[in-house]
Structure 1
Amino acid sequence: METSTITFSSSSSPPPSPSPSPPRPQAAPADLDAVSLGRLSANLERLLDPAFFNCTDADVVLAAGGDDAVVGVHRCILAARSNFFLDHFSSLAANPAGKKPRLELADLVPGGRHIGRDAIVPVLGYLYTGLLKPPPQGAAVCVDDRCSHQACRPAIDFVVESTYAASGFKIPELVSLFQRRLSDFVTIALVEDIVPIVLVASTCQLPDLLSQCIQRVAESSVDSRYLEKELPAETFAKVKELRRHLSPHESDEFILDPEHAKRVRNIHKALDCDDVDLVGLLLTESRITLDDALAIHYAAAYCEPKVLAGMLKLESASDSANVNLKNESGCTPLHLACMRREPQIILSLIEKGASVQEKTRDGRDALTICKRLTREKDCNNKLEKCKERSKAYLCIDILEQEIKRNSFVLERQLSDEVSVAMPLLADNFHMRLLNLENRVAFARIFFPSEAKLVMRIAQADSTEEFAGLTSANFSKLKEVNLNETPTMQSKRLRERLDALTKTVELGRKYFPHCSDVLDKFLNEESTDLFFLESGTPEDQHTKRMRFSELKDDVNKAFNKDKAAVAAIVSSSTSASSSPRGDGKVRHGSKKARLSR
């Protein structure tokens, strides 16, 4: 920090002069002006900080709502710096004492409902200080780490909102600056991200920028239905006409098949009215399917979540609707739902089978789309207690969880295949399969008819069988077939294991007492019991005696299961033959069934 030196002189004899020293460089007047203006700007900028001493006398109200929807301003400063605010404040009627005038931004300037706090504060700060500050941290960058942030949607939205504010407040130098930035975005941004630039150029009457946007959109392959829905009618007509000039040999779908286009429009109009039943009727009467009309795409982009859920439940949807179908732009319904950032629609599509791995033509998957539309500021804000999370945050969370689930399922499938293929882990699998084979083989000996029925229900008779009853057959499971790859063998053994497991489960369900006898036998007895002719005469006699006892246990268990089934049948029969005192109820139920 520099200090000034003050010297005093006298009229008497002057003191001896010291040796001469080089003169100190003095600041030029221009530098002093810059320092003074910089200090003044920094001080005035503090007036827009809500944490600073609040002496505002007017409020600018944003359309977004919430705690950040009000920006306090000073009428004297804005009126002195802007003719727009001077005229506006001068025309205001006198307010009651202590009540600040409120300026509703949505009604004050064209496009005011699109302006957010992060965009309007720098524009107002320019009127206060004469300097344009950069956007707040995280307000103009997305959450995708792989994005360069040169033309991602948050960067475009910030400049678009600033352009609305500068144009509405009639600050031509800022409008010219923002227009140049938007022009740079048009050349490098994605076409769907140019739509907000088209809207601001049309609203703020920027013809050069609008012409540049129309040229870029017309040269793209973006679906005409999307453009018709998003762009102003006059702008869409120009894009459509320019496309015809650029591609004279490609006929428009409306000219190629006007009847088909009419039916598609009727379906879309029914969706606009949230009438799912009418959509089903139109699909039934016409030869158009949901895929032909891109109805799932349309509902995912523009309809309420309940409408899309109803669409997916239509009978025609189960046969014809492909939730991974791509439109002319290479987007699936899930991609469009991510562009809209609607978590309920994203969840409905994923539950119906939409793939999060599908990519657009430019290589973006669903999660990338969501991340590049979401501001870093929104995701970095700490969640307050009892405060609802933003839709953008929920969309990213849903997609990340689905990706983790798919990864887990894939790893599990791979680990199962590896466990069968690896020699060190295969023995456990093979022993389990052999035990099931033995159990089913014993069941077929004890209860041949019942076991055959259960195996047919479980489709175990359609898979390749391995002989059980002896551990010697364990080696047969490991035999190598030169015409069978390890993957084929794994699949074959897995199918057999699943079929036998289902057989045992069905046996436990329908024959519980018999299953208990099998469990006891497998835990206590040896498989050699069924080879009655082997061993010494004494061993054969012992085996026959034990086998007779086992047969008695089996018969008792079977009689118990049979008695239980008979009791169930008897109770159901008595219920059906009950007195006719409740005949009216049954008659009414029958009538209701017939009416259905």
Structure 2
Amino acid sequence: MESSTVTFSSSSSPPPSPSPSPSPSRPQAAPADLDAVSLGRLSGNLERLLDPSFFNCTDADVVLAAGGDDAVVGVHRCILAARSNFFLAHFSSLAAAPAGEKPRLELAKLVPGGCHIGRDAIVPVLGYLYTGLLKPPPQGAAVCVDDQCSHQACRPAIDFVVESTYAASGFKIPELVSLFQRRLSDFVNRALVVVEDIVPIVLVASTCQLTDLLSQCIQRVAHSSVDSRYLEKELSDETFAKVMELRQYLSPRESDEFILGPEHAKKVRNVHKALDCDDVDLANLLLEESGITLDGALAIHHAAAYCEPKVLAQILKLKSASDSANVNLKNGSGYTPLHMACMRREPQIILSLTEKGASVQERTRDGRDALTICKRLTREKDCNSKLEKGKERSKAYLCIDILEQEIKRTSFVLERQLSDEVSVAMPLLADNFHTRLLTLENRVAFARIFFPSEAKLVMRIAQADSTQEFAGLSSANFSKLKDVNLNETPIMQSNRLRERLDALMKTVELGRKYFPHCSDVLDKFLIEESTDLFFLESGTAEDQHTRRMRFSELKDEVNKAFNKDKAAIGSSSTSSSSSPRADGKVRHGNKKARLSR
């Protein structure tokens, strides 16, 4: 994979070792060369102070807004105060910390735009204050997971420079601000840069008052065909007004207001506001009264981009949706709802759309499909976290995995596949309803133990988490499984259990469809009858002990099988799911936007 072109002066190479004592035949080094060697050695030594593995002698903490394991960066007040008037003034005004505690600087409150800065960006900027040299971005921090990308101007590369600009501007380092501004200007001028990726540059230019860069961005965005509704959500009111004024002046016939008419646009905005308030019933009422269809209001696009997953699910269930809604409809920018969901990287929405027939093959005007969009927005560090059993996966990983599995299955008939897979996965008696339900409960229960992220996602889509569990699943008294509530009629009980059975079958179907490796591991695990939760609690104490010993052995075998699956995933999708690079996470946001940066 090519490395990012976001490069700066680096102190990564070790300083040259001092020359041996001069001999009569060897000329002495010039004083300037000796100064360079000394400065290089001093810079390298100071750089070690920011390495978390080095001896911790920090006396203050910078707290990042992102949270997580890397939310705190230890710093040395004396060095920063000596090198920066900003930190000198700030540390001088700090109240004394309680005994045994370090002063904590919350970055979100310390500098404008601080909530957007991640660890990978702030450490090089702080390193510049320590050493006088600016190192290149950490491995994987400015590179996307798409092998076909040149990484010259993909979103991770842009995001890294944007975050660095926020930090340099906030810490009052003019030489770095000038350097980063030139780099951002180069991004804006590149013809291959997706216009939506310029929005973070607009935000940092506005926040840091980089007027020339902001003017350049406004010109580029105004000349593009990006949907005005997207810009209204993403940009500040002042910047959006400038873009729309310039856009209408440059090409009035291409204005959304001109095509739709102001009255139609007003009705559409009212529908979107209702969706933003999670009021699907009101949105449906507004659609019926105005005579606008779901497609005409681009309601599915809006919900996929900005609303909660449950709102999109409700829209897709509307009675009118089956008559007029097209999940593959393209908006004015050439994006389908699935494209919008991939820009947001929300796995539950992606899964809901693909279940309703959203095509993963549809492409944007510049030739990107859903998987490409998702990959080029995702840093290697965000996607390539370690695949450990029982650990939560990143949303980026789940999104890419879902899309890759959907691509593999576009040529199959889902109904026939479900029938074949269920018959292999569940060798049950067709007329034994309770046994079948018990087996499904066991399978899903073990899925939640071994693969919590995947199980949680598919259960939510199948709505299994909203149905009542089969009572007495792990009880030693099997007869309790068939107990009837005195307030519940046999018909009510049958309907309740049937609803639960359907939800669990749907859960298994989705798991096999989008997470086949995890399902294969469960298949191997469930072959042994001793994995039945009820079976483990029956028999004598000695029998139970023997079975539980075997159960522990099976868990070890599953762990080995899981590692094989992990290797198989890596061989089929090296760039998206199993690169050896380190993991991390940076997200950007805007108070008016809900799309991921």
What TM-score, normalized by structure 2, do the two folds share? 0.65
Deviates more, 1:227-236 or 1:507-516: 507-516
1:538 aligns with 2:539: no
Distance 1:480 1:194, change over 3 A: same
Structure 2 Cα separation of the partners of residues 541 and 78 of structure 1: 61
Structure 1 Cα separation of the partners of residues 8 and 585 of structure 2: 122
Q: Which residue matches 2:13?
A: 13
Contact 1:513 1:557 survives alignment (8 Å):
no
Structure 2 Cα separation of the partners of residues 87 and 368 of structure 1: 46
Count of residues in Structure 1 that have an aligned counterpart in Structure 2: 593
Show CA shifts across 1:165-190 (max 9, x none). Answer: 00000000000000000001112266
Show CA shifts across 1:518-540 (max 9, x none). Answer: 99999999999999999999999
SS class of match (2:252): coil
Q: Deviation at 1:379?
A: 2.3
Distance 1:443 1:372, change over 3 A: closer
Contact 1:444 1:452 survives alignment (8 Å):
yes
Distance 1:550 1:530, change over 3 A: farther
Structure 2 Cα separation of the partners of residues 551 and 371 of structure 1: 33
Structure 2 Cα separation of the partners of residues 166 and 587 of structure 1: 17
SS class of match (2:573): helix
Instruction: Quote the sequence identity (%).
Output: 90
Q: Deviation at 1:514?
A: 45
SS class of match (1:580): coil
Structure 2 Cα separation of the partners of residues 588 and 356 of structure 1: 26
Structure 1 Cα separation of the partners of residues 458 and 9 of structure 2: 121
- Given candidates 24, 27, 31, the residue that maps to 2:26 is 24
Q: Deviation at 1:385?
A: 5.0
Q: Deviation at 1:553?
A: 55
Q: Deviation at 1:363?
A: 0.3
Contact 2:118 2:163 survives alignment (8 Å):
yes
Show CA shifts across 1:207-237 (max 9, x none). Answer: 0100110000011111111111111111111
Contact 2:315 2:321 survives alignment (8 Å):
yes
Structure 2 Cα separation of the partners of residues 8 and 561 of structure 1: 39
Contact 2:44 2:131 survives alignment (8 Å):
yes
Q: Which has the larger radius of gyration?
A: 1
Deviates more, 1:395-404 or 1:478-487: 478-487
Structure 2 Cα separation of the partners of residues 552 and 316 of structure 1: 51
Distance 1:22 1:305, change over 3 A: same
Distance 1:22 1:254, change over 3 A: same
Contact 1:511 1:558 survives alignment (8 Å):
no
Distance 1:557 1:468, change over 3 A: farther
Runs of 4+ in 1 over 6 A off after TM superposition: 1-22, 410-562, 566-596
Distance 1:580 1:7, change over 3 A: closer
1:579 aligns with 2:583: no
Structure 2 Cα separation of the partners of residues 62 and 46 of structure 1: 21
Distance 1:485 1:147, change over 3 A: farther
Contact 2:476 2:538 survives alignment (8 Å):
no
Q: Deviation at 1:140?
A: 0.3
Q: Deviation at 1:284?
A: 1.6
Contact 1:60 1:105 survives alignment (8 Å):
yes
Q: Which runs of 5+ in 2 are unaligned?
A: none
Distance 1:327 1:92, change over 3 A: same
Q: Deviation at 1:349?
A: 0.4
Deviates more, 1:466-475 or 1:213-222: 466-475
Q: Which residue matches 1:592?
A: 593
Show CA shifts across 1:231-285 (max 9, x none). Answer: 1111111111111121144455268622211111110110111100111111121
Q: Deviation at 1:386?
A: 3.7
Q: Deviation at 1:70?
A: 0.2
1:349 aligns with 2:350: no
Distance 1:403 1:436, change over 3 A: closer
Distance 1:549 1:288, change over 3 A: closer
Distance 1:507 1:238, change over 3 A: closer
Contact 1:61 1:71 survives alignment (8 Å):
yes
- Given candidates 163, 176, 179, the residue that maps to 2:178 is 176
Q: Deviation at 1:353?
A: 0.5
Contact 2:6 2:137 survives alignment (8 Å):
no
Distance 1:249 1:430, change over 3 A: same
Contact 1:270 1:276 survives alignment (8 Å):
yes
Structure 1 Cα separation of the partners of residues 41 and 571 of structure 2: 98
Distance 1:455 1:43, change over 3 A: closer
SS class of match (2:70): helix
Q: Which residue matches 1:89?
A: 91
Distance 1:157 1:508, change over 3 A: closer
- Given candidates 239, 242, 252, the residue that maps to 1:235 is 239
Contact 1:42 1:129 survives alignment (8 Å):
yes
Q: Deviation at 1:25?
A: 1.9
1:315 aligns with 2:316: no
Distance 1:6 1:36, change over 3 A: farther
Structure 1 Cα separation of the partners of residues 357 and 214 of structure 2: 40
Structure 2 Cα separation of the partners of residues 64 and 454 of structure 1: 27
Show CA shifts across 1:315-345 (max 9, x none). Answer: 1111110000000110000000000000000
Q: Deviation at 1:32?
A: 1.1
Distance 1:33 1:246, change over 3 A: same
Show CA shifts across 1:105-160 (max 9, x none). Answer: 00000000000000000000000000000000011000000000000000000000
Distance 1:199 1:24, change over 3 A: same
Contact 1:62 1:69 survives alignment (8 Å):
yes
Distance 1:362 1:493, change over 3 A: farther
- Given candidates 138, 141, 150, the residue that maps to 2:140 is 138
Q: Deviation at 1:406?
A: 1.5
SS class of match (2:409): helix
Structure 1 Cα separation of the partners of residues 571 and 27 of structure 2: 115
SS class of match (1:406): coil
Distance 1:214 1:490, change over 3 A: farther
Deviates more, 1:487-496 or 1:391-400: 487-496
What TM-score, normalized by structure 1, do the two folds share? 0.66
Show CA shifts across 1:88-118 (max 9, x none). Answer: 0000011122110000000000000000000
Deviates more, 1:385-394 or 1:533-542: 533-542
Structure 2 Cα separation of the partners of residues 8 and 431 of structure 1: 64
Distance 1:476 1:189, change over 3 A: farther
Deviates more, 1:459-468 or 1:278-287: 459-468
SS class of match (1:587): coil
SS class of match (1:534): coil
Structure 2 Cα separation of the partners of residues 38 and 174 of structure 1: 20
Distance 1:366 1:123, change over 3 A: same
Distance 1:324 1:119, change over 3 A: same
Distance 1:244 1:103, change over 3 A: same
Q: Deviation at 1:584?
A: 62
Deviates more, 1:275-284 or 1:6-15: 6-15
Deviates more, 1:214-223 or 1:257-266: 257-266
Contact 1:195 1:231 survives alignment (8 Å):
yes
Contact 2:472 2:480 survives alignment (8 Å):
no
Show CA shifts across 1:532-565 (max 9, x none). Answer: 9999999999999999999999999999999xxx
CA RMSD of aligned residues (A): 23.7
Contact 1:514 1:557 survives alignment (8 Å):
no
Contact 2:11 2:135 survives alignment (8 Å):
no
Contact 1:511 1:561 survives alignment (8 Å):
no
Structure 1 Cα separation of the partners of residues 356 and 366 of structure 2: 25
Q: Which residue matches 2:211?
A: 207
Q: Deviation at 1:511?
A: 41
Q: Deviation at 1:495?
A: 33
Show CA shifts across 1:180-206 (max 9, x none). Answer: 000011122660000000000000000
Deviates more, 1:244-253 or 1:546-555: 546-555
Structure 2 Cα separation of the partners of residues 31 and 568 of structure 1: 52
Contact 1:420 1:426 survives alignment (8 Å):
no
Distance 1:37 1:404, change over 3 A: same
